[in-house]
Amino acid sequence: MSFVRLALTGGALSLAVACGGSPPAAPAAPQGRQVDSATASSVRATVTFEGDVPKPDMIRIDGDSKCAAANGASEIPSEDLLVGNGKALQNVFVYVKDGFDGYSFAAPKDPVVLDQQKCRYTPRVLGIRTGQTLAIRNGDPLLHNVRADGKLNQPFNMGHPIQGTSFNRSFTTSEVMVPFRCDVHAWMHAWIGVIDHPYFGVSGADGVVALTGLPPGTYTLEAWHEKLGTKTQQVTVGAKDSKDVAFTFAR
């Protein structure tokens, strides 16, 4: 059984290379200016929704009986607009869009994980560094298909049939956002923001993203939401400074 799993996994990885994409690249050593932690600052971004919160659309999933069984229902609510207490808006990707001329940052060694659980991508929105490993896992006992349709990064398309297995990919170019989907289950979507520095995050149930360790300077921040578009604003931080900013989205 172990031999069969190894053979299937190896074949799947070969298929992924044939269909596009590339194995993870080795993290490059930083070549430019480094951030001085003694003068580093922070920005706290709060993202909210304005207006009446709509009821979520319901998605039928009973076309795949295993998906319906995993969720205990024939339909599930869409996650494309999640609003919490105080109108906090979830799954907003907030990042520093510009202002880092002359700086460079080594890619982290630890991977970022994108899982497939109960016929959903988990998490739905996430960020990753250029050169960092993305580990794509299948937590479901059924076939998924992972399709990444990057415009600046090389697309890939891979069948993922075995529960508990994973394969790795990485991205070479900053891109906001790279869409992921499953050709087997049309409702499965995820978005990955690829950034060449560490100053990004995704809002949780509280709508907050904390950007820490920023060198003093003036930056453009951008907030991206899959359904509501983007918002930008400038912020200036001094040495050992801390700033609060707010983004508001409406339909």
pLDDT exceeds cutoff 80 at 12: no
pLDDT exceeds cutoff 80 at 40: yes
DSSP per-residue string spanning 15-72: HHHHTS--PPPPPPPP-SB---GGG-EEEEEEEEEESPPPPPPEEE-TTSHHHHHHHT
Instruction: Look at residues 137, 112, 130, 135 and name the one whose alpha carbon lies nearest to residue 171.
Output: 130
Strands 125-129 and 229-237: unpaired
What is the model's pTM? 0.86
Q: Which range among 3-12, 23-32, 109-118, 216-225 shows the weakest confidence by mean pLDDT?
A: 3-12
pLDDT in tens, 167-210: 999 999 999 999 999 999 999 999 999 999 999 999 999 999 99
Average pLDDT on 128-137 reads: 97
pLDDT in tens, 221-250: 999 999 999 999 999 999 999 999 999 999
> Domains of the chain, with CATH numbers?
1-30+107-196 (2.60.40.420), 35-54+81-105+197-251 (2.60.40.10)
Q: How many CB atoms lie within 10 A of CB 20?
A: 15
The C-alpha atoms of residue 194 and residue 171 are separated, in whole angstroms, by 7
